[in-house]
Amino acid sequence: MTLIPEYDFKKIFFEPWSTLELCIWNGQIILMGILVCWTCGIVGSFIVVRRMALMGDAISHGILPGLALAFICSGSMALGPMWIGSCVAGITCSFCIEWLRFQTPIKEDAALGLVFTSFFATGVLMLGMEAENAHIDPECILYGEIGFTPLAPDLKLGSLRLGNQALWTMGGVFLSVAIAAVVFYRQILISSFDPILARSMGTPVRQVHLGLMLSLSLATVASLEAVGVILVVAMFVFPAVTASFFFDRLSSIVFFSLPLGLAYSIGGFHLAHWFDCSLAASMVVFAGLLFIPCCFLAPNSGILWKITSLRNVGR
Amino acid sequence: MKPVRSNSSPLTGRCFPWFSIFFLLVCAFINQTLLGAQIQSPVDISLGDRALRFLQMRDYSVRIVAVGSILIGISCGMMGSFVVTRRLSLFGDTLSHAVLPGIAIGFLWVEAKDNLALLIGASMAGFLGVACVTLLKKFSKVRQDSALGLVLSGFYAIGICILTRIQKMEFGNQAGLDTYLFGQVSSLSESDLWGICISLALIVLFMTSNHRELLVSGFDLEFSKSMGLPSEAIQYAMWGLLAFCVISSLQVIGVILASALLIIPAASASLLAKRMSTYILVSALLGAIAGFVGAFLSFLGQRIPTGPLIVVVATTFFLLILFLRPSQGIIVNWLQSRRQSRQIEMENMLKAIYQVMEKQEFSEPAVRMEEVTRRRGVGKDSRAKEIESLIDSGYVSRSYEKNKFAKLPHEQFISLTPKGWENACRIVRNHRLWELYLTNEARYAADHVHEDAEKIEHVLGEETVRKIERLLSNPKKDPHGKLIPSLVDVRKGWLPEFPLNKNE
Amino acid sequence: MRNSQKPIEIHDLTVSYQKKPVLYGIDLEVEKGSLVGIIGPNGAGKSTLLKTIMNMIKPNGGYVRIFGHPPKKGISCIGYVPQRESVDWDFPVTVMDVVLMGRYGKLNWFQRIRKADRKIASECLEKVGMLHLADRQIGNLSGGQQQRVFLARALAQESQLYIMDEPFSGVDAVTEKTIVLMLKEMKKMGKTLLIVHHDLSSAKEYFDYLLLLNMRKVAYGTIQDVFSHDLLQKTYGGRLTILSEMASQTAGNREIEKEAYSTSE
């Protein structure tokens, strides 16, 4: 067995879809992946244009103690308490960063690095201690296992069985994030681009910021079991940055993250099938593979064009 | 806090490399002498025994663990001081995440957990990651924060991919590579220790030999370029060392949290140190303590990964320093502000007494306490308390006088002691001088200046007063036409039979 | 009712910024329909004055009234043109988007942008001669063009009071001319304009009123009254050292602030 298995088109692309059961099973996984990519892509677009990509990183790490606490208190991995816990931890995290930045001589980057590593470490310790007497899987939260999606119990409404609960939850999160993004698009746009003007027009800039942080926590928590806290950063950053090579309007970037999410999920799934490795990680790897040619070849802003034009100028 | 250029003699710069070579030898010596019985399975020993065992350091492996974690703390602390002052903290984080695929590939290469292979793989991946960030920033419109996020998560994902792949291969089950994610100090071996020693020695060598160049280029890059220092080369050398330092500490602290040991001790040191050399020392010391305590705790609870423990310990120290530090610490600040509030209260009360006396045209040495408290307004009780404290500190003396109506309690009179008089005069003088300064020099309207003078009077120093007096050619009256107590009045003390400025 | 009030009324305004005093006891009343230039050396507190009016910095003392309202409420009557450096020019928005932002204040929270808004926005772009670039990303414009876009946005706001922070800095001659023309036209429409300016030589032609600022108000009045050698000397001739020194000691000191008003005289 070698690192790179033989490329077998049929095995990679047909085998997962050969029987009906496999189709349903894998379809659920891919759907989950798509929903995760879409949710994170929308939130991530706003985060990236606000130059807060690393804040996203920090918060996705920083929510861990909140998750652990919520788990210890409620004893379940249900989304509700997890989200509340993570929101509390996320907001505390960003508050600590701001406080250190403005009230102490510590610089922004150091404050960021300091707070989120401390939070993360606390969370890991709490989970580690809890793991001995409960069946929470710290590995799952840290790395995620999207492959377990079809194992989730069905959502029941009375006697009606509506299908996979995890998918419904994720779908609900995606819908709420998407609706919020459409409804408050104007407010987010103006308070990101020109906060002064925004405030003069009565847009609550701070609340918009807070709302973004909350939806960031929500997106992170919801996609936690699928991709884990570290890879979720990639889901935030990759779609937005890739899209920004092609589009120069925020709304187009947000929209373009949807087809990108589709591609990541499907591409990553088959990549994982080829290499027989982690699904979530290979989705990110696929995103990276898509990013590289875009970075070089994108119209106007691609590196290749830039280098050639530089050379022309040199002549 | 900006590092201040330290005034070291040119001689020290030249002889320091010898010191670090010496240091390398010492490390070698430590390694050689770390001989002893191999550690036995410690699972079934009680907590107390384990603590004792660790602290006695009789075991060979315990010694390795202790020395290793301390050395890592030192090297990360030293490196961190540069990372933090140059605002590269998040580069450190990206770097540590980016080495994961390198570790995985290094493992794959030799199909075993060989330290050299892992180190080479990790170094290459780390450099590739940093190069990616730099290139993205330089050649594309991707901003720095996004570039860091991309590289961090992208490389990490590749690493996870390969790791999960390895676990499914035949030799994968013996990998134990997950210790690299969060660190496990007990898996530290002698060869790891060598790596740590070498990286520490290199760091010390580099820092001591380039100490001035580092200082200048960190403080002002343009200036150092203009001086012809090899800033670029130093920059790259620093990157290399940083990578080396992070990689050698991965075994103990893990990929995900490695940046914490760079940032937190250095950030704590930045709260304390004012000079770069003390900064580095404090940072290294804190790193060492955090490393040691973390390793100790991790040794106690067998299953807990070391990385998070070290980070939590380091953060605890950071918080302690943040709240208790001498110059700006929260507790010290609180005490200071209380003292200042008291002082201001007292000064305001003295002023009120002066004003009451002035209203009586200094005919009486004592004034009615009632009147003073009324003048100060709000909260009669607290005002009375303020007077008590004035009496306690010897600014004011109290006398009772029988009330005309015998049934009412005695009326209280207070008078200023010489010390009190001096202070009261000083504060009134400050107030009125400032009002005059604002109206005459800064052209403010006379009805505007009182509020400001209320604040300034408490902070106006003697020297500034002299300056203002000179500027206004020793004025006698404030803009409202009231007399300004002169220096003579201040010094003279209260003399009831010779009221203030009577001769004018 | 709003128009009967003075557009800007400042009383005894003291502002400190990161524990450094920047403005000290400023009094100012601006009449409706005046074109005011604010002039002073670097660090004289020009931008701080604007920011205080815009309610971005809380004053340590005194107050600002905008059409008789406190800044928090009055800010909605202001059209603000920020300093060009203060905006992230890589932000993915087109010229049209930026100008449309000027209309946001007129919309309700959930309202979409109407056709009429688009029409007004294109008219404003037309006025500054930028309509042909409406679909460009703002980062691809030259400095002067960016400034004109901002001006168009301010026009689209249809405010009564405009505040501009160095609109003339780093722009080409065409833009400068356009801006001056726009300013004159806006003044004719009865709008009040407050403009921070750094170039003494051109100030005389551009503005009707001048505010000379250097930590404190040195002078305020019509160009003829204020533009004198003596006053300019005072504005640019260094600070009152003792004043700035002492003010920096008290600024941001909570204990002093707290106790300051508890005595009455």
Most confident of A178-187, B90-99, C5-14: A178-187
Tell me the three state secondary structure of residue A2.
coil
Measured between CA atoms, how close is A194 to chain C, in angstroms?
7
The shortest C-alpha distance from A154 to chain B (Å) reads 29
Is A310 in CB contact (< 8 Å) with chain C? no
Task: For residue A109, give its domain range.
Answer: 9-146+165-306
The helix/strand/coil state of B223 is helix
Write the CATH number of the domain with boundaries B335-492.
Answer: 1.10.10.10
Average pLDDT, chain B: 76
A154 is a domain residue: no
For B323-382, the DSSP string reads HH-TTT-HHHHHHHHHHHHHHHHHHHHHHHHHHHHHHTTT--SEEEHHHHHHHH-S-HHH
Q: Which residue has the higher pLDDT, B90 or A137?
A: B90
Chain C interface test: which of A50, A186, A242, A252 (most C C-beta within 10 Å): A186
What number of C-beta contacts closer than 8 Å exist between A and B? 194
Side-chain-side CA neighbours of C141 within 13 Å: the count stands at: 29
pLDDT score, position A115: 92
Burial of A176 (0-12, 13-18, 19+ CB in 10 A): middle
Task: Check if the beta carbon of residue C81 is closer than 8 Å to that of residue C151.
Answer: yes
Minimum distance, in Å, between the CA of residue A25 and any CA atom of chain B: 21
User: C260 to chain B: which residues are within 8 Å by CB?
Assistant: 451, 454-455
Lowest mean pLDDT: which of B359-363, C159-163, C215-219, C254-258?
A: C254-258
CB contact under 8 A, C259 and B376: no
3 state DSSP class of A154: strand
Facing B90 at nearest CB: one of A104, A112, A307: A112
Average pLDDT, chain C: 80
Using the Cβ of B137 and the Cβ atoms of chain C, whether some distance falls under 8 Å is answered with: no
**The domain B15-325: what is its CATH number?**
1.10.3470.10
What values do phi and psi take at C160, rounded to 5? Answer: -90, -25
On whether residue A160 sits in a domain, the answer given is no
Interface contact flag, A249 C92, Cβ < 8 Å: yes
Kindly provide the ipTM of the predicted complex, given to two decimals.
0.90
With CA atoms as reference, the chain B residue closest to A273 would be: B165
- Cα–Cα distance for residue pair A257/B247, rounded to 1 Å: 35
Predicted confidence at residue B503, as pLDDT, reads 38
- What subunits make at least 3 CB pairs under 8 angstroms with B? A, C
Question: Is residue B103 over pLDDT 50?
Answer: yes
Q: What is the mean pLDDT of residues B485-490?
A: 68
* Pair B345, C259: CB distance under 8 Å: yes
CB atoms within 10 A of CB C148: 27
> What does the block give as tokens for C190?
């009865």
**Range scoring the smallest mean pLDDT among A22-36, B236-250, C179-193, C233-247:** C233-247
For A228-285, the DSSP string reads: HHHHHHHHHHHHHHHHHTT--SHHHHHHHHHHHHHHHHHHHHHHHHHHT--HHHHHHH
CA distance A143 to chain B (A): 8
Of A233, A231, A253, A232, the residue nearest A298 (C-alpha): A253
The answer, yes or no, to whether residue B474 has pLDDT greater than 80, is no
Whether the predicted pLDDT of A169 surpasses 90:
no
Interchain contact, A288 vs B307, CB within 8 Å: no
Instruction: Return the amino acid letter for C199.
Output: D
Residues of B whose CB is below 8 A from A110: 84, 87, 89, 263, 266-267, 270
Cβ contacts of B161 on chain A, cutoff 8 Å: 275, 277-278, 281-282, 285
Distance CA B35, CA B55 (A): 17
* DSSP classification of residue B44: T
pLDDT at residue number B326: 77
Q: Which secondary-structure segment (H or E) carries B27?
A: helix B10-33
Neighbours of chain C (3+ CB pairs under 8 A): A, B
Is B271 within 8 Å of A105 (Cβ atoms)? yes
pLDDT, residue A214, reads 87
Residue in B with minimal Cα distance to A57:
B149
Confidence grade of residue A286 (pLDDT, cut at 50, 70, 90): very high
| From B341, B444, B471, residue closest to C25, measured CB to CB | B444
Asked if the Cβ–Cβ distance from C262 to B450 is below 8 Å, we say no
Q: What is the CATH number of the domain that holds A272?
A: 1.10.3470.10
User: What proportion of chain B, given as a percentage, has pLDDT over 90?
Assistant: 8
Could A121 and B150 be called an inter-chain contact, meaning their C-beta atoms sit closer than 8 Å?
no
Tell me the nearest-neighbour CA distance from C98 into chain B, angstroms. Answer: 21
C47: closest CA of chain A, how far (Å) = 13
Q: C265 to chain B: which residues are within 8 Å by CB?
A: 355, 450
Whether C261 and B454 lie within 8 Å, measured CB to CB: yes
Among B377, B448, B460, beta carbon nearest to C262: B377
Residue B498: the pLDDT is 43
Residue A257's pLDDT band (boundaries 50, 70, 90)? Answer: very high
The pair of structure tokens assigned to B115 is: 């330290």
pLDDT at C213 over 50: yes
* Average pLDDT, integer, range A27-52: 92
**CB-CB under 8 Å, C256 with B458:** yes
In a mutagenesis test of the B interface, which of C138, C253, C255, C258 is the best target, namely the one with the most B β-carbons within 10 Å?
A: C255
* Residues in chain A closer than 8 A to C98 (CB atoms): 193
Q: How many CB pairs under 8 A join B and C?
A: 80
pLDDT at A228 over 90: no
The model's pLDDT over C57-99, given as tens digits with 9 standing for 90+, comes to: 888 778 888 888 888 888 888 888 888 877 888 888 889 989 9
Structural domain contains residue A159: no
A127: closest CA among A115, A137, A113, A112? A137
Partner-chain residue, chosen from B149, B181, B257, that has the shortest CB–CB distance to A117: B257
In DSSP terms, B411 is beta-bridged to B401
Q: Are the beta carbons of C255 and B341 separated by less than 8 Å?
A: yes
How does DSSP classify residue C140? Answer: G
Question: Cβ(C27)–Cβ(C211) under 8 Å?
Answer: no
Say if A126 is an interface residue toward chain B (CB within 8 Å).
Answer: no
Mean pLDDT of A26-48: 92
Which residues of chain A does B262 touch, with a Cβ-Cβ cutoff of 8 Å? 113
**Is there a domain that residue A1 lies in?**
no
C-alpha distance from B320 to closest chain A C-alpha (Å): 14
Query: Where is average pLDDT lowest: A247-261, B398-412, C51-65?
Result: B398-412
Residue C261 confidence (pLDDT) above 60: no
Q: Which residues of A are less than 8 Å from C134 in CB distance?
A: none
How high is the pLDDT of residue C260?
A: 47
Block residue for tokens 């035949």: B170
Residue of A nearest to C77 (CA): A200
Residues C104-141 have pLDDT tens digits of 888 777 777 888 889 999 999 998 888 888 888 888 88
- Dump the DSSP string for B468-480: HHHHTTS-SB-TT
List Cα–Cα distances, B387 to A254, B348, B365, B390, in angstroms. 67, 11, 17, 5
DSSP string, C162-178: EEEESTTTT--HHHHHH
Of A121, A230, A284, the CB nearest to B312: A121
* pLDDT band per the 50, 70, 90 thresholds, residue B21: low
User: Pairing between strand B411-416 and B396-401?
Assistant: antiparallel
Q: A194 vs C101: CB contact, 8 Å cut-off?
A: yes
Judged by CB atoms closer than 8 Å, whether chains meet at B154 and A287 is answered as: yes
- In this model, does residue B496 exceed pLDDT 70? no
Structure-model confidence comparison of residues B359 and A76, the more confident one: B359
Q: Measured in Å, how far apart are chain B's first and last C-alpha atoms?
A: 54
A31 and chain B in contact, CB less than 8 A: no
How many domains is chain A partitioned into structurally?
1
Specify if A93 maps to a domain: yes
Contacts of B141 in chain A (CB under 8 A): 244-245, 301
- Report, as an integer, the average pLDDT of B295-307: 77
Give the whole-number percent of chain A exceeding pLDDT 70.
93
Q: What is the pLDDT of residue A137?
A: 60
Q: Does residue C50 sit at the A interface (CB-CB below 8 Å)?
A: no
CB contact under 8 A, B456 and C250: yes
Q: How far apart are CA C119 and CA C103, in angstroms?
A: 11
Asked if residue A205 lies in contact with residue A198, where contact means CB atoms within 8 angstroms, the answer is yes
Tens-digit pLDDT profile for residues A54-88? 888 888 888 889 988 888 888 776 777 888 888 89
Helix, strand or coil, per DSSP, at residue C40? coil
d(C-alpha C203, C-alpha C198), whole Å: 8
Q: Residue C100, class by beta-carbon neighbours within 10 Å (0-12 exposed, 13-18 middle, 19+ buried)?
A: buried
Q: Is C114 on the interface with A (CB under 8 A)?
A: no
Binary contact (B450, C265; C-beta < 8 A): yes
Q: Residue ranges of the domains in chain B?
A: 15-325, 335-492
Q: What percent of chain B has pLDDT over 70?
A: 78
